[in-house]
Amino acid sequence: MYYLEYMSMQMFDAHTHIDMKHFKNDRERVIQRAREAGLVGMVTSSISPASFRMTLGIIEKYKDFIFHSAGCSASQVTQQEADQIIGLTRKYSTDIVAVGEVGLDYHWVKEPRAREAQEPIFSKFIELASELNLPIVIHSRKAEARASEMLEAQFSGDVLMHCFDGDSTIAQRVADNGWYITLPANFSKYRNRVQSAKILPLEQILLETDGPYLSPTSDRNEPANIQYGCEALGKILDQTKETIGETTTMNTKRFYRL
């Protein structure tokens, strides 16, 4: 009976960083724990040329379970690195499920000119997603309004605002645009994220860990922790965690076209 219950639970980590050094010593066990927790897949996001190459090896080993989304940190990569990532993405495009994470960071970058300097790189990745007909995953820390403006002007494909941290006005704008958001496993600690969970239709909500970051526990974050987000969202929307798991899994597969 417990076995059947366990089998009925389905979850998907829509955004994580399984290539990172935090998982170097026990990546296999982390992935095994994810399967045991009921995950049917995860999307891992590479953020540099080295991370891209590392991820190629990982998805080869875990076909049909780990999927690759290729992006960069627009505030951290050089123009040259960005071009390298774009070249790699074109070359391996059939093994890539989305462009991103990519976008604007106003949390770490405060100076107006430095903020603006991220835009050409972001634009290039938006164009890349259009060119390859791929959905795009957006990092827009404290820059949700500007990122939305740029996307509305330049992009007509599917958009996922990862680890969404906007206020209710932006949440409504995302909902109206038919875009998606992901909520991290620790999202219930943040009032604006709880509000977003109520504003967006459940069909536009995905769950992520962003592991190794944003842990809901005192330990390193990992894909198995998606269950915390699943439970929290169930409580907020008054639904069972099975329903939340199943629906967010479907949403993830729809967005990434899996």
DSSP-derived pairing of the beta strands 96-103 and 39-46: unpaired
Which residues inside 184-213 make contact with Zn ion, applying CB under 5 A?
Answer: 210
Q: Smallest distance from the beta carbon of 73 to Zn ion, in angstroms?
A: 9
Task: Name, in order, each residue with C-beta under 8 angstroms of 55's C-beta and a sequence gap of 6 or more.
Answer: 19, 44, 46, 68, 70
For Zn ion, give the closer residue by CB, 9 or 99: 99
Q: Smallest distance from the beta carbon of 6 to Zn ion, in angstroms?
A: 28
For Zn ion, give the closer residue by CB, 165 or 210: 210
Distances (CA, A) of 10 to 116, 156, 207, 209, 237: 41, 30, 12, 15, 18
Residue 13 sits in the site that holds Zn ion (CB under 5 A): no
Report residue 189 as tokens: 């600690």
CA within 13 Å, CB half, 75: 18
CA distance 167 to 133: 29
Q: How far apart are the first and last CA of the chain?
A: 30
For Zn ion, give the closer residue by CB, 162 or 241: 162
Q: Smallest distance from the beta carbon of 88 to Zn ion, in angstroms?
A: 18
Q: Smallest distance from the beta carbon of 198 to Zn ion, in angstroms?
A: 24
Q: Pick from 179, 228, 235, 221: which is nearest to 207 by CA?
A: 228
Q: Smallest distance from the beta carbon of 38 to Zn ion, in angstroms?
A: 22
For Zn ion, give the closer residue by CB, 9 or 23: 23
For Zn ion, give the closer residue by CB, 105 or 158: 105
Q: Which x/- pattern over 210-239 shows residues binding Zn ion (rule: CB under 5 A)? A: x-----------------------------
Binding site for Zn ion (CB under 5 A): 210
